[in-house]
Amino acid sequence: MRYRFIHVALIAIFAAGCSARGLDGGSVAALSRGAPPHPFARPGVGAGPIVTSKFGGTIFGWAIDENGADGVLTEVTPPSGSPFTSVVETFDQATAKITKVVRKQNGDSGNRELFVDAVLANDVGLIDDERHYGKYTRRDVFYLMAPVSKKKVTGTWTRPPGRNFLIFDIADQQSNPAAVMAATILDGSIKNPPTFEVVVTDVATNKILRILHAPRGDGVNYPYFVAEDTTTQHAYVPAANHDSQTVFIDYDIRNGHASNNFVAPPFSGPVAGIAIDSATHMMCTTTGSTYSVQMYDLKTKKQTFVGQIPNSGGEGQAGSSIAADPINHLFIVGQPNSLKGGSEIYVYDEQGNVLESLTGFAFGPLSGIQVVAGSRSGYVGGPQGNQLESFTY
């Protein structure tokens, strides 16, 4: 799962209220059902080559082809000051080298910048040209690279109707052309909260398949996340119900039905990261307030494991984003700040055992993580703002 940077302040204002509804005050001692086994590492795993943006600017978005060898990023240069240049670049996953500058455009005072939203099925890249008009107005344009391996913009995607359409997350799967997005619509002011939407779309063919909403009474937690079981074609969005319990809104993307009867155990806490193994129907989440890692069986909608993330003593060491490995049936969990110092990556099996602990990283809470399951490799953000770091596990 990757996090995206959102630059509209009013989103956070309203979202904070939604998230507060889902906060539970339970202790980690009440959550844990035993500490995970002592982590160990296999020979030859860990940090690998580092991608550095071509012009040294801060990387504002990135994604990789999880079934191939290419990747795409956007940088803004210079890192500070105005005017600036926003750039789309492709890179080779194996060599960590920039392979082409795809697009460059100038902006002024942060009012226009390019952001990689995702690489979708069939290596289709979605690039958001964020266009700010005044304090609360956005009229973004979305470019396509279909495929990314062609190293050029091939068209545009037409977003759903409504003012100020903002994408927060796209379910991390690259097998089904129907992508599932967590997005909001704003009215262009701070008078009303954002309207949350789940958008189901075939980006490559420029078709909006469905626009879905949460059941009444549920407050979708900020930041907005979505994960998908591509086998059952169900998507899950973390939220909070009227009793301030953490729930996972279950969307059947085939018929549009939404259910809120998937409720997490008490004191589970708001979700900070989420990923699904569609082969086994297992879901993994991280939480900030309880700094735990949790496993759920989507067939039974029951929590099967919960435990404190290693090398943690509080929220400051919580896990963040997660990637699913559906070939080896593993979850790869990022921890931005370990008690050992720096950042760590943990490899969990689906029973909650920590199989590997990868050290020597330095990435921030918004770095995101993606893996290529076939080669047991992946990428995270860091160690500098203009870099991405590869790893094997």
CB 76 within 8 A of CB 113: yes
* CA 103/CA 76 separation, integer angstroms: 12
**Residue 2 counted as domain residue:** no
In a domain, 4, yes or no: no
Residue 31, pLDDT score: 32
**Looking at residue 304, which CATH number applies to its domain?**
2.130.10.10
Cβ-count burial of 149 within 10 angstroms (0-12 exposed, 13-18 middle, 19+ buried)?
A: middle
Residue 334, domain member (yes or no): yes
For residues 183 and 101, give the distance between their C-alpha atoms in angstroms, rounded to a whole number: 29
Q: What element of type H or E holds 197?
A: strand 195-202
Q: Which domain holds residue 182?
A: 9-392
Q: Give the pLDDT of the chain (393 residues) as one tens digit per residue.
A: 555 544 433 334 334 333 333 323 333 333 333 333 333 445 578 999 999 999 999 998 999 999 999 999 999 987 565 678 999 999 999 999 999 999 999 876 557 889 999 999 999 999 999 987 766 678 899 999 999 999 999 999 999 988 789 999 999 999 999 999 999 988 766 677 788 999 999 999 999 999 999 888 677 878 899 999 999 999 999 998 777 789 999 999 999 999 999 999 998 889 999 999 999 999 999 999 999 999 999 999 999 999 999 999 999 999 999 999 999 999 999 999 999 999 999 999 999 999 999 999 998 656 799 999 999 999 999 999 999 999 999
Q: Is residue 156 part of a domain?
A: yes
Domain-embedded: residue 3:
no
One-letter identity of residue 353: N
**1 inside domain:** no
User: What is the Cα–Cα distance from 63 to 370, expressed in whole angstroms?
Assistant: 8
The total of structural domains in the chain comes to: 1
pLDDT at 244: 77
d(CA 182, CA 15): 14
Confidence (pLDDT) at 220: 85
Domain membership flag for residue 136? yes
What's the pLDDT score for residue 359?
A: 95
Decide if 36 contacts 292 (C-beta within 8 A). no
In a domain, 225, yes or no: yes
Distance (Å, rounded) from C-alpha 199 to C-alpha 201?
A: 6
